A and B are shown apart, each in its own frame.
Chain A
Amino acid sequence: MKRRDFLKSVSGLAAGAALPAMPQVVSSAKADARSETLLIVSEGGPNNLDIHGVGTNVPGYEVSWNCYDRLISHEMKSGPGGVPYYDRDKFKGELADDMKIDDMSVTFKLKKNAKFHDGAPVTAKDVKWSLDRAVSVGGFPTFQMSAGSLTKAEQFVVIDDSTVRVDFAKKDRLTIPDLAVIVPCVVNSELVKKNASEKDPWGLEFTKQQTAGSGAYKVTKWTAGTEVVMERNEDWVGGPLPKIKRVIWRMVPQAGNRRALLERGDADISYELPFKDFQEMKANGKLNVVSLPFSNGIQYIGMNVTKPPFDNPKVRQAMAYALPYQKIMDAVLFGLGNPMFGAAKDKATEVAWPQPHKYNTDMEKAKALLAEAGYANGFETTISFDLNFAGVNEPLCVLVQESLAQLGIKTTINKVPGANWRTELNKKEMPLFTNVFSGWLDYPEYFFYWCYHGNNSVFNTMSYKSAEMDKLIDGARTAAATGDKAAYDADVKGFVDLAYADVPRIPLYQPFVNVAMQKNISGYQYWFHRRLDYRAMAKG
């Protein structure tokens, strides 16, 4: 008699008393397998097992995070609701035993007994080759490295077999944190070089299909778009041996089915469900639902400031008074988000990001401001959103459209297919749009550098340019690098105030990452990348 038949025979009996421990009593071998296996269901899976690959998607980051080690990682602290949350300011060694920071360099001593999955020892040569690879392959990994002023292979120096030095190109507070993100992972250089070719000197084709790291897990089976199976690396030295022996990650495109799988106790953990589902699951209490704010992330309404009517700050302020903030929180997010609006009038600006602005829904004020700007009768515009996140974006835009109609502003909704969204953002022609930005590195000046600086990066979606803003952002970056706290605080407050007075973009809320899991799953940790870290998780 097998699981299936058993399920049939007990389903009637178990209906009332069915806790997650339900149908797995069949044979003890199967039951063991189940209690040591974590079954994850999500909408999408990885397209590449190597974060250095061309166009590796976000699920691919999760594989990299769990199957590769970095020199250093973050400590945990207690976050909102007591959930472990990564500590931005505290580092611990993963492959490195010891980290010594000097004025213009940092030196790492590697753990002596660290081994790759194939048994080869992890040496300083591997570390250098991997970091060289990250700054050389181009695309996202190279871009992320440059965010911490890590741009040239010469910056990584092998001292001896187990010692590596990273030289700073310039003083930058983000250099060390940037070594703890997913990208600077250490790859088995000998193994990959053996499988590289002239056309592909970094062996990207090889690492796309298999993991070649020293991490806590290794991928043993991967069927793209269907499932990923990972087994524990018994010789892992990066931390305490994980409790979960095997991770099976299945792609289930239907959100309703993912919820059914969770509620029936067949799947252990899932994310990417509609907010309404999370809300209901939270309410009925059968599952653990963790909701935590995105670090350094904001969903906002952006306006193109280069073209009328949004080139007029009065119009932008009117917009900030006309948005239906509370309705969005209630009807779109079901409360699963941190409001970024309606701060008290007398609240002093903090040295923190994100923080709420002082606008609130006030149609009278909006009307007055519009009249002052010469648009008493409103105007016509288009609001665009990314269809990949239609679950949030669509109702949000409809609410905005309704609200603006009261001011005589006629808004057409433009749905942009996911594949096209970045192209559209890059063109910087959309007059009005909603989007999310969230930075891996949780520093205000990092956010502002990408989103408000006049060098006009992809994320300065409003094409906002202000000499004063640039001065404040550059000032804060320099002050952070040199440790000048007073100047730093003044600059951060300065740019936050300016961003809220000029309002090229109107923050709405800080989104939550939501994860639902069985009650017997413990050890969930929030990471800046918002994906799962299996290493700390346990079942039962």
Chain B
Amino acid sequence: MLTMIGKRLMFAIPSLIGVVIVTFLLTRALPGDPAAYFAGPAATKEAVEQIRKKLGLDKPLIEQFFRYTNDLAHGDFGNSLTTGQPVAAEIRNRLPASAELTLLGLIVSIVIAIPLGVLAATRPGSWIDHLCRITTTAGVSLPVFFTGLVLVYVFYFRLGWSPAPLGRLDVFYSAPPTVTGFYLIDTLIARDVETFRSALSQLILPATTLAIFSLAPIARMTRASMLAVLASEFVRTARASGLSPSTVIVTYAFRNAMLPVITTLSMVFSFLLGANVLVEKVFAWPGIGSYAVEALISSDFAPVQGFVLTMAVMYVLLNLVIDILYGVIDPRVRLEG
């Protein structure tokens, strides 16, 4: 097990080096001149040059690159020019917000999609199968920002059930002391039920938006993989042996059908992090997605590089976790690994 993890991590190193080089070059290739942007609307040519010097952008590209990697090695991601803060600190503060939202969205999605997929597979052609097809198709065809806006319009503006889309907490609550960075957990640690409720109610709409979007792949994949497994011989044998339908479906079929679903989950999680960008915009969510987009718009190199790098590291870790999960679910994978 440990050797497997070590091996996987070794494989990740070249890809991370590649990511560092590519993001560095890509951000440099962006149109726009950060010096001109940050010199302000009223800047003279000299003022722009002064700023360029201050930002170290007058140095040759290769020197800038070595400086950048040297800083990276010391854990320094540089400073964001738009927000004026160190990138590492900002990502550390914002990542939990995105992660909490994405994870909750994913959990909601799993809770709905997997039973839906299983039910649809056991009764193909029935009304539940059609329901599954319709909800998933509708969910995936609506762009996330649109779903988000509709939800805000209906549940906040029209009905007033949901709190104002103003980020993670109502303005008059203060954030719990940071332990994990997840407000739902931190408020419970602090035994602050009131703030927990506020944090949860702020999360419902954006998490639902993400869940609606990610229902489709999970439900469809569960259905397809269940259908395949249910048609296989060992299920027929189990049924013929007189096992109860629930034992057959849950213990025998479902566990075997899980492998492709897990793979899909990892993919869904990664593209949810991407879809997050728009959801964060709609709900004024202080996550890393909106941070990266703003940085991109203002040609702010450091946060974009920091964001891509963080994402790359997360993907590597995510893949590792998925590989380990495979082993837990399917012993054969463990043996081969």
Spell out A's residues near B (CB within 8 Å): 2-4, 7-8, 11, 15, 30, 33-34, 37, 39, 41, 47-48, 53-57, 138-140, 142-144, 208-209, 223-227, 248, 250-254, 256-257, 260-261, 263-264, 266-267, 417-420, 422-423, 426, 457-458
Contacts and interface: CB of A to CB of B under 8 A. Distances in A.
Nearest to B202: A4
B100 interface: no
Interface centre among A55, A140, A223, A252 (most CB of B within 10 A): A55
Nearest to A258: B284
Nearest to A419: B32
B47 A138 contact: yes
A420 B149 contact: no
Interface in B112-135: none
Interface of B: 30-34, 36-45, 47-48, 50-51, 54-55, 80-85, 90, 93, 149, 152-153, 156-157, 159-161, 163-167, 170-172, 194, 197-198, 201, 281-284, 286, 290-291, 294, 297-299
Nearest to B90: A224
Contacts of A138: 47, 50-51
B197 A4 contact: yes
B152 A423 contact: no
Contacts of A140: 39-40, 42-43, 47
Contacts of A30: 172
25 contacts: A3-B170, A4-B197, A7-B161, A30-B172, A33-B172, A138-B51, A140-B39, A140-B40, A223-B286, A225-B83, A225-B294, A250-B284, A252-B166, A256-B152, A260-B157, A264-B157, A264-B164, A266-B164, A419-B31, A419-B34, A419-B298, A419-B299, A422-B37, A458-B42, A458-B45
Given A3-B172, A224-B90, A226-B284, 13 more contacts: A30-B172, A54-B38, A55-B40, A208-B84, A223-B286, A225-B294, A252-B166, A260-B157, A417-B31, A417-B32, A419-B298, A419-B299, A458-B44
Contacts of B33: 419-420, 422-423
B167 A226 contact: yes
A248 B171 CA distance: 8
Nearest to B201: A4
Q: Which of A8, A223, A225, A254 is packed against the most chain B CB atoms within 10 Å?
A: A225
Contact of B82 (A47, A143, A260): A47
Contacts of A225: 82-83, 286, 290-291, 294
A34 to B, nearest CB: 7
A457 B197 CA distance: 56
B233 to A, nearest CB: 54
Contact of B159 (A11, A143, A256, A418): A11
Contacts of B299: 419-420
A138 B209 CA distance: 47
Contacts of B298: 418-419
Interface-central residue, B34, B40, B156, by most chain A CB under 10 Å: B40
B143 to A, nearest CB: 14
A419 B167 CA distance: 26
A139 B153 CA distance: 44
Contacts of A208: 84
A264 B32 CA distance: 39
8 smallest beta-carbon distances between A and B, as pairs: A55-B38, A11-B160, A419-B32, A224-B83, A420-B32, A419-B299, A140-B40, A226-B286
Contacts of A209: 84
A261 B156 CA distance: 9
A15 to B, nearest CB: 8
A146 to B, nearest CB: 9
A347 B31 CA distance: 46
B286 A4 contact: no
Nearest to B294: A225
A252 B157 contact: no
A458 B43 contact: yes
Nearest to B148: A254
B265 to A, nearest CB: 29
A419 B166 contact: no
Given A139-B39, A260-B156, A420-B33, A254 B282 contact: yes
B44 A143 contact: yes
Contact of B157 (A41, A57, A263, A423): A263
B37 A250 contact: no
Nearest to B53: A138
A2 B197 contact: yes
Contacts of B84: 47-48, 53, 208-209, 224
Contact of B161 (A11, A55, A422): A11
Contacts of A48: 84
A379 to B, nearest CB: 27
A458 B48 CA distance: 11
A250 B167 CA distance: 9
B50 A139 contact: yes
A264 B297 CA distance: 31
A54 B40 CA distance: 9
A261 B39 contact: no
A208 B38 CA distance: 15
A488 to B, nearest CB: 24
A263 B160 CA distance: 12
B165 A253 contact: no
B180 to A, nearest CB: 18
B81 A47 contact: yes
A457 to B, nearest CB: 7
A145 to B, nearest CB: 11
A42 to B, nearest CB: 11
Contacts of B282: 253-254, 257
Given A139-B39, A426-B36, A252 B297 contact: no
Nearest to A387: B297
Contact of A2 (B37, B55, B194, B281): B194
B31 A254 contact: no
B177 to A, nearest CB: 15
A449 B222 CA distance: 69
A252 B285 CA distance: 9
Nearest to A267: B164
Contacts of A139: 39-40, 43, 47, 50-51
A33 B153 CA distance: 27
B16 to A, nearest CB: 27
A55 B152 contact: no
A253 B284 CA distance: 6
